[in-house]
Amino acid sequence: MGYNHGLEKKKFDEEWQKNEKLYRELGMTDEQITAIWEFDYKTFRSDRVYFEKKMDLSEYEETLQSDDSNIDECNIEENWHEYITDIDKRRQLSELRPEQRRAYYLCKIKNMSQRDAVVIINKPQSSIARWIVKISKILK
């Protein structure tokens, strides 16, 4: 499930009501409390931007892990895109070169660093970074 700003804002407000009550009990002034709230709210908004753009791969990873355990790792590296249920996304991924899909798999699903993927795929890191961005856009 994606990021739900309304729900997160509600959680933020509820937590802040508790914190504000605690701060007042501790004898803090309104100016101090306002300064803390402004800082926390700025952080919340910054986090919101990150979480809205962050892509949750857990549903894809669970699909890969829950399928036949007899499938060898190399086959999954090459064909992970076939497990995606969205037909349009799967078609777009199928049109890419296998090394592009493999780079994405290694870096995003297996959490390998791009530097390590460079050694395995034998392509420049800039290319791998571009491929990851391209595939991330497809999977959005």
pLDDT of residue 73: 54
**Residue 3 CB burial class (10 angstroms; 0-12, 13-18, ≥19):** middle
Which of these, 66, 54, 138, lies nearest to 104 by C-alpha position?
138
Residues 82 and 95 in one domain: yes
Segments of the chain with pLDDT less than 50: 1, 68-71
pLDDT of residue 23: 93
Tally of domains in the chain = 2
- pLDDT tens string 111-132: 889 999 899 889 999 999 999 9
Rounded CA gap, 126 and 119, in Å?
A: 13
pLDDT at 70: 47
**134 in the same domain as 92:** yes
pTM here is: 0.47
Secondary structure of residue 60 in the 3-state scheme: helix
Q: Quote the domain boundaries for residue 113.
A: 58-139
